[in-house]
């Protein structure tokens, strides 16, 4: 038995992203990469997510170029992986971003425990005059995927 490796077509990548809700977000600051797990909802070439203030958000504000990776491994000899590169866009709680913020929430709230990863923080944050909850989107600039299957 051997494995066949191939590049996924764009429609396959989009279908996989549309069905996924968990992935790994990579950002960087001053040449240092940082990868974290996130829950997200994908629609119309935007990955919507939620977070508390922290390192990830600070870094994405400084450098909005980010990457989201998702994968499926149904068996040891079969897997699919999609990488989305794009630009971070925060949805502040204001009139300009109100509709996009509500849209993000409406997509995310359909998922079980969508807020779980984004609401946990290892260190207590100081009290803030506004909410620490943040909705954001990753606007796609490129999508690529690869797939491996077992052959006889």
8-93 has CATH 3.90.79.10 classification? no
Spans of the chain below 70 pLDDT: 1, 112-132, 152
**Could you tell me the sign of the dihedral formed by the alpha carbons of 96, 99, 104, 109, in that order?**
positive
- Domain ranges in the chain are 8-93
Tell me what pLDDT residue 22 has: 94
pLDDT digits (tens, 9 = 90+) for 46-82: 999 999 899 999 999 999 999 999 999 988 889 999 9
**Tally of helices (H runs) and strands (E runs) in the chain:** 4, 8
Tell me what pLDDT residue 1 has: 66
Tell me what pLDDT residue 113 has: 57
pTM assigned to the model:
0.84
Only one residue has tokens 């990863």, namely 117
Strand partners, 7: 146
């Amino acid at each position: 038995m051997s494995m066949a490796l191939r590049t996924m077509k764009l429609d396959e990548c989009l279908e996989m992203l549309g069905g996924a809700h968990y992935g790994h977000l990579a950002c960087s600051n001053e040449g240092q990469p940082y990868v974290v797990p996130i829950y997200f909802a994908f629609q119309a070439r935007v990955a919507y997510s939620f977070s508390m203030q922290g390192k990830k958000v600070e870094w994405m504000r400084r450098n909005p170029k980010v990457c989201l990776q998702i994968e499926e491994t149904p068996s040891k000899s079969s897997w699919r992986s999609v990488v989305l590169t794009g630009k971070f866009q925060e949805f502040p709680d204001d009139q300009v971003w109100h509709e996009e913020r509500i849209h993000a929430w409406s997509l995310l709230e359909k998922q079980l425990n969508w807020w779980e990863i984004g609401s946990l923080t290892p260190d207590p944050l100081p009290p803030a005059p506004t909410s620490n909850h943040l909705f954001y989107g990753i606007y796609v600039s490129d999508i690529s995927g690869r797939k491996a299957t077992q052959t006889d």
